[in-house]
Amino acid sequence: MASHTIILAVLWLVIAPMGWARKLAVKDPEAELEREALQKHRLDSINLLIFIFLLVCTVLTVWLFKHRRFRFLHETGLAMIYGMIVGAIIKYSGRRVNKYAYSIEEEMNQTFAPEILWLKYTTTNDSTPARIFSYELQGIIHDPSSEIQIELEEKATFDPEVFFNILLPPIIFHAGYCIKRKHFFRNLGAILMFAFIGTTISCIVVGFIVYGFVQLMPWSTFSLKDCLYFGALISATDPVSVLAIFFDLHVDVDMYALVFGESVMNDAVAIVLAATIDNYRASEFDVEALFTAVGSFLGIFFGSFLIGGLMGCINALLTKFTKIRDFPILETVLFCLLSYSTFLIAESFGLTGIVAMLFCGMTQAHYTYNNLSDESKKRTKELFELLNFLSENFIFSYMGVAMFTFQSHQWHIDFIAAAFLAVGVARVCNIYPLSFLLNLGRKNKISFNFQHMLVFAGLRGAIAFALAIRNTETAGRQTMLTTTLMIVIVTIVVCGGGTTQMLTWLKIRVGVEDDDTTGQNVFQELGTVRIGNEEDERLLDVDQDPNAARAIRRAKKKEQAWLVSRWYNFDHNYVKPVLTNRGADLSQTLPGCCSAVARCLTRKEESTMPRRGSDSEIILDDELSYGEMPTIIGGGSTDDITPNITPNPHDQDPASDGDLGLGDHEMSPRSQFKGVTPGSSQV
Amino acid sequence: MASHTIILAVLWLVIAPMGWARKLAVKDPEAELEREALQKHRLDSINLLIFIFLLVCTVLTVWLFKHRRFRFLHETGLAMIYGMIVGAIIKYSGRRVNKYAYSIEEEMNQTFAPEILWLKYTTTNDSTPARIFSYELQGIIHDPSSEIQIELEEKATFDPEVFFNILLPPIIFHAGYCIKRKHFFRNLGAILMFAFIGTTISCIVVGFIVYGFVQLMPWSTFSLKDCLYFGALISATDPVSVLAIFFDLHVDVDMYALVFGESVMNDAVAIVLAATIDNYRASEFDVEALFTAVGSFLGIFFGSFLIGGLMGCINALLTKFTKIRDFPILETVLFCLLSYSTFLIAESFGLTGIVAMLFCGMTQAHYTYNNLSDESKKRTKELFELLNFLSENFIFSYMGVAMFTFQSHQWHIDFIAAAFLAVGVARVCNIYPLSFLLNLGRKNKISFNFQHMLVFAGLRGAIAFALAIRNTETAGRQTMLTTTLMIVIVTIVVCGGGTTQMLTWLKIRVGVEDDDTTGQNVFQELGTVRIGNEEDERLLDVDQDPNAARAIRRAKKKEQAWLVSRWYNFDHNYVKPVLTNRGADLSQTLPGCCSAVARCLTRKEESTMPRRGSDSEIILDDELSYGEMPTIIGGGSTDDITPNITPNPHDQDPASDGDLGLGDHEMSPRSQFKGVTPGSSQV
């Protein structure tokens, strides 16, 4: 009997799945629904599995490339190529399942199709009772003949909102959080110019060139607005692969800062531009509508900027005034939750979550990061690095797959050619004239070779794709998506692959350690647009004499961009001391009447920060803060750090501010190169 | 003119959003669809924002509780209470939006409602052309009157699949990955007994008691199968809050291992049991159907087990035979991707992803973990800790919110009361008889006080809820969900809150450091069911004399469970050396004919592991491996470690295996308590 049991049991190990299938043959509506859900769930699993398999392949190949020091193909390019291979397999091997679509004609006296449809159906061979099924509106069918799809192919198409709501936020946040802020702010003028003016130029130039060409294309239904929308979305550059190579080769820091800064900021500008153009309703040119558009642009941009900044400040205050740093995991969780909520808040207000995320990342890096415990500093950086890597490669894999599986590609070679031409011309019209203008005011000129490199670094990537796939309702938008995909793939493969060669041709310095290695003289040489005066602040902190420092600052003001330096002073004197335990002493910078407030803010600070001035903290902070040098004298390696902190508690204040007035030294470049990750290039 | 421009621009900052609203008034079908999508997107954002806000509140309150050392409420309980408050607010303040549902009657000659419905509609006031809209089947409407929902309320209800596919996997993986394997395996017999036999007893007892009661309830339509299904889902215990308190108070390690191990394994058993009962189709009792059920249970369970184990092994091989450890982020990404793909593979095969995930986590901890770079070890642990925290608290928040916002609660006080009674009785029928049986074979008896504590630790949580919410199509299932929610809330608040008091009453030792502190004698005292003989292996490794070791092992075999010790030997001699760089020397354990294979596997190992025997690695490994003691002599703190590793490369082998035959010492408990995280209790 027992052996009988075992045999039966073993048999059923094999047959059980069949039992399931048998059970599913019953045509009970509920069982049928269940079967459908099960089927859908399996397909979903297989679909996700395909992408994970792609990512695993990418990771392994990337490792091999890194191991063998191949630089001609970046991981994102690789992910895309693998994606294309798998996409082709899915497309040409998929079994065609004719999905049954039942057509009903109905005359209604309402202007729009109902959101929910209840179908009460009775079968002709009447045994089952009438049942009501609920249907939800999915979209408009433009071409009834093309809508019968291959099941897996259809599955491999994600909801485009996934890109905007889940995949892009960590990428953008990471860019803001891990920005090399010192170099970024030093080139802030140039970066803002390229981002705001440059992106607008690019958008307009692309728009008009494409509009000119589509006049010659009989098939096209593009309006000028459509062309400008395409101009906006294709103006978002994404040179991850170039930046990764720059990082690997330790290319000139200013070159790096320009390319990185431009790409980060112009994403934000391009997204808002695209939203603005999309909302532009006037059919003809109209001054009022133009002002509306400009106002809407500014409103969305600065609204998002404010929300991002505000959430960063809230997080800074929370981490400063609670002892949550004693529980690093709670701190990290809080940090992640507040950062993601920034995105959601901006979206809830109808603003742009991605832009808010970028500025939230920057604020978090500038303020909150200083309040975090050492463990949370590491954890947050590593976490966002990981998420950035995963999201980025997922998007690029998806682009490769979508090249084949996207259902409504519109291949118009003429349009694609025009777009390539327009993109190239727009890049040229953006970089060279603006560089010329910038060079008029910069001491540290942008050389012609740098300019050529900037033009070359105009790769297109994730943001352009996400914007293009967001709306593919009309044939025009479908053409845009196809064209964007082509541009992304070609620029990534050609420009990404040719970066090393280009650097050689243009004789751009590689293997450069941070400028600061050579000491303060380099500082003096650097252009007029740079943030604050680190030297001055240092003197200020050590002497604790605001008057003398102010005098020095005044004397040097000519060298600085007025707005930037103003902001830096304000930040150092008021914002930083309130939000973090750094910056100036509040009791000295605030007017006398506010001394109670100042004391309150400072007292709190002292009780919550028992570990200030510990060496590890200083080193870590240096990785993510500008104008704050570590306190270690000499010692080129992190292994033999002996912090030179005077025991006097008053002197510790500037020490924890990262500086004892000892200027730059060998430590800083190393830690800077180690800790700050551009894109996912630290991999 | 310029000032005019500025004024206009500023004006539009305010008015722009209205402009959007205006644009939306146009009744163009595409614009309408867009408006709807926008509205949906905003609602989604607000909804997610509510949950993130809840989690932020939870994190801050948890910090406050930890700070003030309150232990009466765990973070999950807190999350749930906050969720209930917010749920009540949503329910009683939500504006009621009547969603328009258009009804169509149709007679069809097919057996089932179509999946996709195309509605070609023409408006009566005919100016727009006919358009075709696509609708997708959502479900069956049972009660047409109740389906008009409050918009936000409806939104606050997630797709139940989210729990199974996104939130549960990291929780379960974390449980497997961070299991205290040494103590887990030492109590393996008891744990498996409680998990397999105990959960089955619990399921049957609950099922029959509830079935008995429902006979007296006129409203009920429950079949025995439904009752047994309820029994299965409610048998999944989830004592996170109890474990957190155990961890905080350093409760007796065997107590901890029993509660933790039981809860982890019985989740797996309960999930598979529920799936099996759900698939049981015979309407009456039937021997064949019963065998089918048992076979299906075993098939699903062991199929999932195998997939989990296999994927873990693949990952171990990948990390062993590539130098991917040189790039920690790639390694971490690979680890995460392969782990999640385990879930998807199991689901694609129609098995249970959660169970596969659990065993994958265990395999990864046992093998892969040893191959990872130090950085990846930290990263993976921290990452899953974070994900576990987030997922767990999200689920509990959601439970609180669902208490109010779930649309189809079925409040049957009689059923709830019967369920409470049944759950209590089942817990008693499970723990006491099985403990009695186990004590017959254990040297280290489970005392009565331990048994009382085990009964008390039968909290219900995430898994029970996820199983209950997975299918709420029928009124019966809705009753189950309501009842499950009540049981979860009551057990979490009452049992979770009373744990400290209970520990005092039952006089269970707290503040216990690991048993091993007292040296080897404790080892001898511990029951018969424990894994391998650490001492023997140690001798084996040091002496490199298999015969002597084998002799000792044979002499001690009486003390060990035969199967467990068999497995341990096999693992140590063959599996570990192949998959990792630990365990026995393959060239000695494999037969002579396989020496080429052995050399190949061993050679690879040496080239890939240049950093073996470094002190940090040994300390970290100790945190997650059983039977491997660190090599540090004396020194109760990690700060003054001076690893005692002989320079001879041959002697390094056992060193990197974590042992130089020096027995137990003060180091091990510390590192064990530091590194191994039960649930999210390290927070």
Q: Which residues from chain B sit within 8 angstroms of residue A106, using beta carbons? A: 104, 119-122
Q: How far are the Cα atoms of B84, B242, B246, B502, B507 from residue B499, in angstroms, in the given order? A: 23, 6, 9, 5, 12
pLDDT given for residue B655 in this prediction: 31
Of residues B669 and A171, which shows the higher confidence score? A171
Query: Residue A41 is nearest to which of B16, B347, B682, comparing CB atoms?
Result: B347
Q: Is B197 on the interface with A (CB under 8 A)?
A: no
Q: How far apart are CA A601 and CA B364, in angstroms?
A: 48
pLDDT given for residue A387 in this prediction: 92
Q: How far apart are CA A231 and CA A266, in angstroms?
A: 13
Are the Cβ atoms of B107 and A122 closer than 8 angstroms?
A: yes
Q: Is B334 on the interface with A (CB under 8 A)?
A: yes
CA-CA-CA-CA torsion for A37, A43, A47, A50, nearest 10 degrees? 140
Q: How far apart are CA B600 and CA B321, in angstroms?
A: 11
Are the Cβ atoms of A390 and B318 closer than 8 angstroms?
A: no
Sign of CA dihedral A218, A219, A225, A226: negative
Cα nearest neighbour of A471 on chain B: B34
Q: Is B116 on the interface with A (CB under 8 A)?
A: yes
**Other Cβ atoms within 10 Å of B511 Cβ, number:** 8
Are the Cβ atoms of B133 and A140 closer than 8 angstroms?
A: yes
DSSP bridge partners of B132: A141, B120
Tell me the per-residue pLDDT of A369-407, one tens digit each, with 9 for 90 and over.
Answer: 988 998 899 899 999 999 999 999 999 998 998 888 887
Decide if A264 contacts A277 (C-beta within 8 A).
no
Residue ranges of B 375-414 with Cβ closer than 8 A to chain A: 379, 382-383, 385-386, 389-390
Q: How far are the Cα atoms of A314, A366, A605, B52 from residue A319, in angstroms, in the given order? A: 9, 13, 11, 17
Distance from CA of A356 to the nearest CA of B (A): 14
**Edge-to-edge strands, sheet with B101-108:** A101-108, B116-123, B131-141, A131-141, A116-123, B101-108
* Closest among B386, B425, B452 to B683, alpha carbons compared: B386
Decide if B668 contacts B516 (C-beta within 8 A).
yes
Query: Residue B333 is nearest to which of A8, A59, A134, comparing CB atoms?
Result: A59
How does DSSP classify residue B460?
B
Distance from CA of A12 to the nearest CA of B (A): 5
Of residues A583 and B290, which shows the higher confidence score? B290
Q: How far are the Cα atoms of A136, A561, B519, B615, B656 from residue B516, in angstroms, in the given order? A: 62, 66, 5, 21, 20
Cα nearest neighbour of B381 on chain A: A379
Tell me the per-residue pLDDT of B278-295, one tens digit each, with 9 for 90 and over.
Answer: 877 666 667 787 888 888
Of residues A274 and B595, which shows the higher confidence score? A274
Q: Is B159 on the interface with A (CB under 8 A)?
A: no
CA triple A161-A164-A169, angle to 5 deg? 145
User: Poorest-confidence range of A137-151, A423-437, B577-591?
Assistant: A137-151
Q: How far apart are CA B267 and CA B485, in angstroms?
A: 17
Q: Is A682 on the interface with B (CB under 8 A)?
A: yes
Instruction: Tell me the pLDDT band of B306, cut-offs 50, 70 and 90.
Output: very high
Q: How far are the Cα atoms of A188, A261, A265, A465, A678 from residue A195, in angstroms, in the given order? A: 10, 8, 6, 19, 18
User: Poorest-confidence range of A334-338, B65-69, B379-383?
Assistant: B65-69
Cα nearest neighbour of A9 on chain B: B295
pLDDT given for residue A555 in this prediction: 46
B131-141 and A131-141: which strand pairing? antiparallel
Are the Cβ atoms of A9 and B67 closer than 8 angstroms?
A: no
Per-residue pLDDT at B669 exceeds 70: no
Mutate to test the interface with A, among B38, B57, B63 (most CBs of A within 10 A): B63
Mutate to test the interface with B, among A123, A333, A386 (most CBs of B within 10 A): A333
Distance from CA of B18 to the nearest CA of A (A): 10
pLDDT given for residue B548 in this prediction: 52
Chain position carrying tokens 């689920």 = B395
Q: How far apart are CA A171 and CA A105, in angstroms?
A: 46
H-assigned helices in B533-639: 534-543, 546-556, 562-570, 576-579, 586-589, 595-608, 615-624
Query: Residue A20 is nearest to which of B27, B135, B279, comparing CB atoms?
Result: B279
Q: How far apart are CA A313 and CA A359, in angstroms?
A: 11
Mean pLDDT throughout A421-426? 93
Mean predicted lDDT score pLDDT of chain B? 73
Backbone angles phi, psi at B44, to 5 degrees: -60, -45
CA-CA-CA-CA torsion for A149, A153, A154, A159, nearest 10 degrees? -160
- Of these ranges, A615-624, B12-21, B31-40, the one predicted with the greatest mean pLDDT is B31-40
Per-residue pLDDT at B264 exceeds 60: yes
Q: Is B324 on the interface with A (CB under 8 A)?
A: yes
Residue ranges of B 261-290 with Cβ closer than 8 A to chain A: 279, 281
Are the Cβ atoms of B344 and A48 closer than 8 angstroms?
A: yes
Of residues A281 and B375, which shows the higher confidence score? B375
Query: Residue B20 is nearest to which of A34, A140, A350, comparing CB atoms?
Result: A350
* Closest among A439, A48, A627, A155 to B343, alpha carbons compared: A48
- Which pTM value belongs to this model? 0.76
Q: Is A541 on the interface with B (CB under 8 A)?
A: no
* Closest among A95, A241, A258 to A187, alpha carbons compared: A258
Are the Cβ atoms of B45 and A347 closer than 8 angstroms?
A: yes
Are the Cβ atoms of A386 and B336 closer than 8 angstroms?
A: yes
Spell A387-396 as b/e; 16+ CB within 10 A means b.
bbbbbbbbbb
pLDDT given for residue A653 in this prediction: 35
Residue type at position A462: A
Mean pLDDT throughout B140-169? 65
pLDDT given for residue B624 in this prediction: 36
Distance from CA of A91 to the nearest CA of B (A): 20
- Token couple for B83: 């969720």
Cα nearest neighbour of B389 on chain A: A333
Are the Cβ atoms of B104 and A118 closer than 8 angstroms?
A: yes
Question: Can you tell me the ipTM of this complex?
Answer: 0.75
Q: How far apart are CA A624 and CA A498, in angstroms?
A: 31
Q: Which residues from chain B sit within 8 angstroms of residue A325, using beta carbons? A: none
Q: How far apart are CA B220 and CA B419, in angstroms?
A: 14
pLDDT given for residue B542 in this prediction: 37
Instruction: Tell me the pLDDT band of B336, cut-offs 50, 70 and 90.
Output: very high
User: Poorest-confidence range of A300-309, A450-459, A498-507, B609-618?
Assistant: B609-618
Are the Cβ atoms of A279 and B23 closer than 8 angstroms?
A: yes
Decide if A678 contacts A260 (C-beta within 8 A).
yes
Distance from CA of A418 to the nearest CA of B (A): 28
User: Poorest-confidence range of A154-168, A297-311, A647-661, B377-391?
Assistant: A647-661
Q: How far apart are CA A601 and CA B202, in angstroms?
A: 57
Are the Cβ atoms of A337 and B137 closer than 8 angstroms?
A: no
Are the Cβ atoms of B294 and A112 closer than 8 angstroms?
A: no
Are the Cβ atoms of B113 and A123 closer than 8 angstroms?
A: no
Q: Which residues from chain B sit within 8 angstroms of residue A107, using beta carbons? A: 121-124
H-helix or E-strand containing A108?
A: strand A101-108
